[in-house]
């Protein structure tokens, strides 16, 4: 019975992987709305934009460093027992192996974009996210407003400065645009508010079409959410990241 409950929970989580919960808002009554002036609304909106811009600048600073793909590291054989122990803390030893396998399946798809859309339309129970880097990117480096990448041979793929342009509404990602006119698939970078210091990994998206990047279940970037870990990761970072992932997805 508990195994069935876990499976149902994980399938629900699968369809909303890593989605940031939206804060509910309560509608004010009519009299309160009438009191609010258009001028004060403008000030509040401007303040929010400023705060987001400041937070975006801080995020880039906190992301300073180089990153490689997360899941090939975390799911290495040497960490298998850590996964089982952390999962068992939430679902029991008898269910740990199945829980870990389902967690793995959620983030290790090797397909995204239109192909994934077609496949999952026919097989919705197999829906998963591709969290690999794409476009030949192997190492991502953030250095202030400078974002760059290298391929598997250590050759430069791109290197541009970026500026903040807004917030992605669905997941609360910070959006950045290249200052170079011809940046191809590295024109836009969207970063989740995750940092090596706080979540021990990062999540992001990148591409050439901002409208398509805003969609997670259609278009060229559907079911794609690259995840990275510091190229200088250590054992503690690995253990903390696995524990966090299990806690976020198995607790409750």
- In tens, the pLDDT along 229-238 reads 999 999 999 9
In CATH, 65-250 is 3.10.590:
no
Partners of 203 in beta bridges? 227
CA 52, 56, 61, 64 dihedral sign is positive
What pLDDT score does 46 carry?
54
What pLDDT score does 50 carry?
77
Tell me how far apart the alpha carbons of residues 107 and 130 are, in angstroms, rounded to a whole number: 6
**How many beta carbons lie within 10 A of that of residue 134, not counting itself?**
15
Six-digit token pair at 242? 């696995």
- In tens, the pLDDT along 165-224 reads 999 988 999 999 999 989 999 999 999 999 999 999 999 999 999 999 999 999 999 999
What pLDDT score does 131 carry?
98
Element containing residue 132 per DSSP (H, E): none
Show Cβ contacts of residue 26 under 8 Å, excluding neighbours closer than 6 positions.
none
- In tens, the pLDDT along 43-52 reads 455 556 678 9
More confident residue, 34 or 99: 99
Tell me how far apart the alpha carbons of residues 62 and 201 are, in angstroms, rounded to a whole number: 12
């Amino acid at each position: 019975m508990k195994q069935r409950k876990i499976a149902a929970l994980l399938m629900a989580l699968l369809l909303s992987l890593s989605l940031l919960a939206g804060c509910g808002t309560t509608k004010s009554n009519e009299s309160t709305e009438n009191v609010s002036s258009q001028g004060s609304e403008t000030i509040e909106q401007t303040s929010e934009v400023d705060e987001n811009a400041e937070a975006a600048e801080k995020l880039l600073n906190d992301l300073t460093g180089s990153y490689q793909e997360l899941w090939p590291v975390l799911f290495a054989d040497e960490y298998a027992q850590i996964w089982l122990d952390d999962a068992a803390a939430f679902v029991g030893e008898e269910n740990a192996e199945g829980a870990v396998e389902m967690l793995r399946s959620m983030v290790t798809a090797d397909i995204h974009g239109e192909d994934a859309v077609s496949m999952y339309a026919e097989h919705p129970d197999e829906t998963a996210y591709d969290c690999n880097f794409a476009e030949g990117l192997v190492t991502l480096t953030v250095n202030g407003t400078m974002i760059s990448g290298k391929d598997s041979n250590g050759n430069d793929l791109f290197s541009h400065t970026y500026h903040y342009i807004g917030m992605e509404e669905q997941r609360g990602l910070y959006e950045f645009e290249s200052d170079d006119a011809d940046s191809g698939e590295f024109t836009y970078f969207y970063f989740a508010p995750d940092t090596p210091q706080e979540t021990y990994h990062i999540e992001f998206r990148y591409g050439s079409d901002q409208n398509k990047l805003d969609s997670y279940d259609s278009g060229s970037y559907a079911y794609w959410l690259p995840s990275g870990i510091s190229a200088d990761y250590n054992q503690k970072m690995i253990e903390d990241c696995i524990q966090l992932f299990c806690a976020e997805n198995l607790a409750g």
